[in-house]
Amino acid sequence: MTRTGSARTAYPLTAPPVGHDESALTHHTPGLPPIHAGVTVLHSLHPHTSTRHRSSETGHIGKLESSIGDTAESKDGEQRVVGNPVEKSLPAASPDLNPEVNANLVLEAWNVVDQVYLDARGKGFDREAWAAKRDEALKHPIRSRIAAYSAIRGLLGSLHDPYTRFLAPDQFQALSKFDVSGIGLNMGEVDDDAGVTSLRVLGVVHDSTAHAAGIRQGDELLSVGGVFVKGKSAFEATSLIQGPVGQPVTLQLQRPTGETFEAVIPRGKEAQQPVTYKLQKDAEGRPAGYVKLRDFSALAKKGVVDAVEKLREAGAQSFILDLQDNLGGLVQAGIEIARLFLGEGETVVYTVGRTPETQKNVLAQGQALFSAPLIVLVNESTASASEIVAGALRDNCRALLVGNKTYGKGLIQSVYELSDGSALAITVGKYITPGHIDIDKYGIEPDFLRTPGPFNWFLPLPSVKESEGKLKSCVPPEIGPPKLPSVASVVKS
């Protein structure tokens, strides 16, 4: 769910063909590189031209999106999504044996890396050496599409970045089919020529319940279940759409022509609630609310809010947010969770990269959900969105971290579609905590190192005296972006 101008279409990454998807999936073996984490946008490129970089906004990170492209009538009169790798296939007179077409595809991939890649881990990205690799790759005729893909993989492999990779059309197809709205909609925030933002349908999954209800690309979403969505993000709108399988949701939409209509759509699947909670005792025997967050899905924020409210009603005087073994998920969900505990204007996270779209300062909005003492449990499998939350709460002196050092995954990847339906997942930036800690390079050290016991794995917790002493010594972060070496310094011109 990405903000984009009226003349451009930006598509977020959804489900990965391989590895771990920080945007939608939750299970990942540390050490296997995820497809992306963070400001993840699907970019459609145009061959033989310079890259048209679609804007991505940190306030809309790691989104829930599904299919992409326009809809058109097929010969049998059926509406289908086109301009989409899910529907694309090479024509009968396939260009895959044309050396010129294959060379242009390799050059297309090379140009994307040249324009947006960030050598976030300092492997050494020399522009002259990169140009020489292009010349080497194009020195001989590329007589097959397989050879072109091999050349692209070779170019990306020379970067020594496990998160920058090539996606063949079938892999990208699997990614594009992913749908977490439950009804087959891909929503996005679109600015018109006057700068007015609306929520519009960027794509509809063929054979989905939304498609059957007549919803088409370009339709504007006005309300969900009677709740008007003006001023809401695409992320929030998708959260409203989700619900129990089979239970209908009523959407009010408006065609590009101005015609409004209502669609009653049965939900096709139900997202799993990622939050569990209970009331227990703290180190001094007082009632404490324990909230376990397994992953950052679109339901995470509502689940945490509901849990906190019920625990407060039950008498909780302090809270424990358990992020152990939480490998991430939707980064936007992580930002929303962090905002629940921070005050207006406090920094949640910084992003840095080579392009203006990756230079962001994400701020908290509104009042904190509560001011009671808060402990966050972390371990070596606390990663990505979880690290953003942990860093934001610790650096703003809002919570103490207890457990073990976090995993250390703070890179931002974007996915760029190539002209033949293949794609590139490319590192374009990184996350920095409010206290200017490079998450990816270091991970986050806890305030209190604790090794889980065999029976009570979330204890022992620090005493009230220990906690108060640590918080009193906490120094709020500087106001302003991190004072890091210029990103230009990691890319030799």
Active site positions, annotated: 384, 409
Residue of 6, 5, 9, 4 whose CA lies nearest to 67: 9
Q: What DSSP assignment string belongs to 58-112?
A: GGG-S------SEEEE-TTS-EEEESSTTT----SS-GGG-HHHHHHHHHHHHHH
Q: Specify whether the CB–CB gap between 314 and 287 falls below 8 A.
A: yes
Judging by DSSP bridges, how do beta strands 374-378 and 318-322 pair with one another? Answer: parallel
Residue of 303, 425, 304, 476 whose CA lies nearest to 376: 304
3 state SS for 195-226: CCEEEEEEEECCCCHHHHCCCCCCCEEEEECC
Q: Please give the Cα distance from 452 to 373 (Å, whole number).
A: 22
Calculate the CA dihedral of residues 435, 295, 401, 378 and round it to 10 degrees.
-120
Q: What are the Cα distances from residue 169, in Å, to 84, 94, 187, 279, 373?
A: 10, 15, 23, 49, 50
Q: Please give the Cα distance from 102 to 121 (Å, whole number).
A: 31
Question: ω before 16 within 30° of 0 (cis)?
Answer: no
Crossing angle between the packed helical segments 234-241 and 331-341, to the nearest 10 degrees: 100
Q: Please give the Cα distance from 67 to 174 (Å, whole number).
A: 10
> In the numeric block, which tokens belong to residue 84?
């989409």
Q: From the CB of residue 424, how many other CB atoms can be counted at a distance below 10 Å?
A: 26
Residue of 244, 246, 224, 245 whose CA lies nearest to 236: 224
> Radius of gyration over alpha carbons of the chain, in Å?
23
